[in-house]
Structures are given as structure tokens and as C-alpha cells.
Amino acid sequence: MATCGEVLVKLLESYGVEQVFGIPGVHTVELYRGLARSNIRHVTPRHEQGAGFMADGYARTSGKPGVCLIITGPGMTNITTAMGQAYADSIPMLVISSVQARSQLGGGRGKLHELPNQSALVAGVAAFSHTVMSAAELPGVLARAFALFQAGRPRPVHIEIPLDVLVENADALLGTSPISVARAGAAPVAVAQMSQRLAAAQRPLILAGGGAIEAAAALTRLAETLGAPVALIINAKGLLPAAHPLLIGSTQSLLATRALVAEADVVLAIGTELAETDYDVTFAGGFEIPGALLRIDIDPDQTVRNYPPELSLVADAQIAADALLAELQRQPLAPRHSAWGAQRVARLWAELTPTWDAATRAQTRMLHTVLEELPGAALVGDSTQPVYSGNLTLNLDHPRRWFNASTGYGTLGYALPAAIGAWLGRGDGQPVVCLIGDGGLQFTLPELASAVEARTPIIVLLWNNQGYEEIKKYMVNRAIEPVGVDIYTPDFIGVATALGCAAERIQGLDALRVALRAAADRQGPTLIEIDQERWVQEVAV
């Protein structure tokens, strides 16, 4: 007899799942029945939040859904923070959990791990949450989840299976085949209208978000055809090559870039929410789009939020960009403003570069050093100062190589477990570097042991400023006496070594280069600690 739990594993394999993250428990053992006989790899984090962040990082580098197997009750409350981060950034994540037996749901009998309504608790951080009331429902709900991941706006999906359903006879489901769903095409009438507005523009501009991450080549050709400067949100870095003459980068929170955006007469926003943490990270307001706004998004609801458009198109970003290109090639383009395009972008960078302060310059040199020594590296960031600097100053040549938790949901502790998942998701042995501060690292420090166990050679760059410095500055700037921000700083080298990692404290660019090369040759994780104050004093120029 094949149980529902065993058929679940086979169905996940049929949908191409190669990796799951989870912590086995008495309520999830039936989810694991058959896992050892499958080709799916299992990684055990040290906390369910870590499982969610690993799945998030895996999804961002692989483009595939990150899958978690989570226990009833505390496992689900633990993973909700990670689901919130993935929900905010539109990351595909499948969370499969157990739940009390059908006859005991909502019973309030004090059963182990009992919640009054587990599905309702997580519904706010999921595209949907579904309770499987019989084994026969399993193929249908998995098809719904993967249809969303394949063709909609991807976000976490939660499927909970009651303990008695997990052991049901599911032999009849063994022949179930996966269902594939194509993404939405581009409506010809809307494409024609948009192309006419873009062709007539004298100063066109493109704002691109993470929803366009698969459309890098088409987006680049579209920008070049239009001579349009391109601003990328942080999750979209790499959609245009770093040295591209039309690339504004992710500097939209700066006054000089806002002035450029305000000069555009037609703005094409593709795959972006136009949200506060994408375009207004100063939280002071003031980002404006006075030109005609055209929006392309896979989510109809999103096309009219935050900034109302003149025209909207619900479509896959790559299909839409290709369709616009084809239409633009059939019609003449109006003469572009003489000082627009690459000339205007060059003037912007000439204005911005001298404004970086010593700390920003020092942190940027650290990031450039990483990429010089490890050219193929992906950088996974937390909420920490080098990440804030890199969001503004660093550009990359390919997408899926820079993402962090400093925007959107904005959780701390994300970078370490997400880096583990990111390395597994890349699947090519290329380096993954975790950028994290001393405060953030203490949120998920035990996941260093997970990295050792999973043999993931991530490189943890620890930026140590002995506390929550950014929050302390925020307090001081508002005349609030700092409280709770000067936290105890442990011996990270000793802790990392005890957990099985290579670890060293370094200072200066030459030492960083040597440490990075040594870390890249190891089979397991490395922690490299950098003291903020000394680094800024010695490295800033």
C-alpha cells in the first residue's frame, strides 16, 4: 500500500522538486515515508525559520519553488517570518505541514502542537492555505500550487495534511501526472497602444523589478531600441550588465536619480510593485512619476496599485517585452531628446559618484574585492551596512546574484540560511557569499551547523559593529536616548570554530583577498569577520 505521504513524495518528484528543507518530528514522519527512496535531497536546518529562508534562497538562485516539510503548531509559527519575506518579494515557496487529525481540528483538547486554526494563522503570508481532507485532494491542490508558481505571481503556498489523511491508502493516485501551465501572453491591442506611446516618447525610461528577472535579454534590447535609461529595483540587479551605458542602477531613492525620473515623458514599469522599499528607501516620500506611466505585470491587481497607470498590460514580462520589441520594429521612432539616453545616464553617475561618504566607499571596495576574487559569486545579504551601500553602488552582470532582506519585509537573520539555500539552488559550484552584521547573525547563528552538515561551502562575511548601529543612529537623529541597541557581542570566531566552520578575523584588502581565495578552495563554510571601524579607517579613499 502507498500512503498519502508516500504519494506526496512521488508527486513532488514529478513536478521537478529536487530539494526539500525540514526538521522531522512526530507529526511529520509520514511526510518522510518514501523520501529516502526518492531522488530528493533533504537538508535539516536548526530552526523552521531557517528552513523557510533556505527555501527562499534556493528559489531565488534556481528559479524553482523552495519546498519545506514543517511540523504542526510551533513549526508553522516558526516559519511564518520566512514566509512573510517570501510573500513580500514574490518568491515561490511550498510549505507542506501536518495538522491534527480531521476529527480533532479546532477541538481545543490540548493535543500536542495544537492550534485553534493553523491554516488561518498562516493565510496572511501565503497565496493560499489549503487543508487536505482526503488523499484524493492531493493532486489537485499540488496542481494549484504549481500553476501559481509557473504562471502567476509566485508567493508561498501552504498545504496542511491531517495526521489521519497522511496514512490513508493512496494507491489510486500513483499514476497521477503533473500539470503544466503556460504564462499569460500579451494582448495585441494593449501592446500596440503601449508601443505607440513608447515610439512617440522623447525621453522614455524603464523601471524594472524582480518580476522581470527572466526577461534580461529582451529588456536590454528594449532599452537599447528606445534609448531608455533603466532603473532596477534591488531584486532585479543584473537584468542589464553592470557597465551598460543605459543603466541607472538601484539609486532611485537619491535626489539626482529622482530628478532624472521626473524628466521622463513616458515611463515603462515592468514586473515591479513601485513600492516604498524599491523606490523610496529613505521613507520620506517624494518619489514621483510625472510622465505617462505604462505598467506590465503578471498580477492584474498590482498594475493599478501605488502609482495609477495610463495603460496596463497583464502578461509575462518576457513575452510582453518581446511583443513590444516586435511592434516597435514596425513603426518609426520619434527623435529622442538630444541629451537623453546614455548621455543623461553618464551625467547622473558623474553627479552621484562624488557624493559617496567614506563608509560607503569602504564598503563598496569590500564588495568589489569579493567580485574580483570570486567573479561568479552570488551575494546574499541581510539588513546590514555593506548591503545598504551595495544596493546603491554595486551593479552585476547577471540576475539572481544579488538579493537581500533589507527591503520588503525586512527581517534580520535572513542571509545565513538563505545563502545555504542559494548555494544548493545554483547547482554549479559557484561561490555564494553571505553579507551579514553581528546583530543579524545572532538571529540564525546555529544555521552554521546546518551549513557544515550539508557541506555547503558558503562564505560568511561578518560586518561587526558591536550592536544595532543603524537603529542607534535612527534613535539619536530623533533625539531618542538609545536603549537596547548596544548588545553583547560574542566571540564569533570561537563559536564558528566550535560549530565546525573555518573562521578568521581579517583587516585590509590584501587580507580579504587571501581569505576569500582560501575559502573558495574549502568544502565547507567559512566565516570571515571584519571590524567596521578599522575597515572604514584603513580602506576608505
CB 18 within 8 A of CB 55: no
Q: Amino acid letter at 467? A: G
Q: What per-residue string of b and e applies to 116-132 under the rule 16 or more CB within 10 Å gives b?
A: eebbebbeebbbebbbb
The whole-number pLDDT of residue 282 equals 52
C-alpha distance from residue 277 to each of 82, 228, 282, 378, 409 (Å)? 18, 23, 8, 22, 9
Going by C-beta distance under 8 Å and a sequence separation of 6 or more, which residues neighbour residue 493? Answer: 503, 504, 505, 527, 529
The full length of the chain comes to 541
| pLDDT number for residue 365 | 95
Residue 85 grid cell:
519575506
Nine cell digits for residue 301:
491587481
pLDDT at 473: 86
Residue of 127, 50, 51 lying closest to 88 (CA atoms): 127
pLDDT in tens for each of the 541 residues of the chain?
899 999 999 999 999 999 999 999 989 898 898 898 999 999 999 999 999 999 999 999 999 999 999 999 999 999 999 999 999 999 999 999 999 888 888 788 878 888 889 999 999 999 999 999 999 999 999 999 999 999 999 999 999 999 999 999 988 989 899 999 998 899 999 999 999 999 999 999 999 999 999 999 999 999 999 999 999 999 999 999 999 999 999 999 899 999 999 999 999 999 999 988 777 655 556 789 999 999 999 999 999 998 999 999 999 999 999 999 999 999 889 888 889 999 999 999 999 999 999 999 999 999 999 999 999 999 999 999 999 999 999 999 999 999 999 988 989 999 999 999 999 999 999 999 999 999 999 999 999 999 999 999 999 999 999 888 888 888 898 899 989 888 899 999 999 999 999 999 999 999 999 999 999 999 999 999 999 888 888 886 6
Residue 457 grid cell? 561551502
Cell 553583547 found at: 488
Distance CA 311, CA 455 (A): 49
Strands 311-314 and 378-381: unpaired
Angle at 144 (CA atoms; ends 138, 150), nearest 5 degrees = 130
- Residue 419 φ then ψ, to 5°: -65, -35
Domains present along the chain, CATH in parentheses: 4-173 (3.40.50.970), 188-349 (3.40.50.1220), 356-539 (3.40.50.970)
| pLDDT of 283 | 54
CB count in 10 Å sphere of residue 454: 22
**3-class secondary-structure state, position 87:** helix
pLDDT at 357: 92
* CB burial string 207-223: b at 16+ within 10 A, e below: bbbbbbbbbbebbbbbb
Reduce the DSSP state of residue 173 to 3 states and report it.
helix
Work out the angle at residue 17's Cα, subtended by the Cα atoms of residues 15 and 19, and round it to the nearest 5 degrees. Answer: 175
Task: Kindly provide the b/e burial profile for residues 244-273, where b requires at least 16 CB atoms within 10 angstroms of the residue's own CB.
Answer: bbbbbbbbbbbeebbebbebbbbbbbbbbb
> How far is Cα 235 from Cα 93, in angstroms, rounded to an integer?
17
Three-state secondary structure readout of 384-437: CHHHHHHHHHCCCCCCCCEEECCCCCCCCCCHHHHHHHHHHHHCCCCCEEEEEE
Q: What's the CA gap between 71 and 90, in Å, rounded? A: 24
Report the 10 Å Cβ neighbour count for 91: 27
CA 76 to chain centre: 21
* Among the listed residues 357, 454, 109, 392, the one whose alpha carbon sits nearest the alpha carbon of residue 254: 392
**pLDDT the model gives residue 46:** 97
Q: Is 434 exposed, middle or buried (0-12, 13-18, 19+ CB in 10 A)?
A: buried
Residue corresponding to grid cell 569602504: 362
Separation CA 450–CA 457 (nearest Å)? 11
Whether 35 and 440 have beta carbons less than 8 Å apart is answered as no
Strand pairing class (93-99; 230-232): unpaired
In sequence order, what are the beta bridge partners of 527? Answer: 460, 503
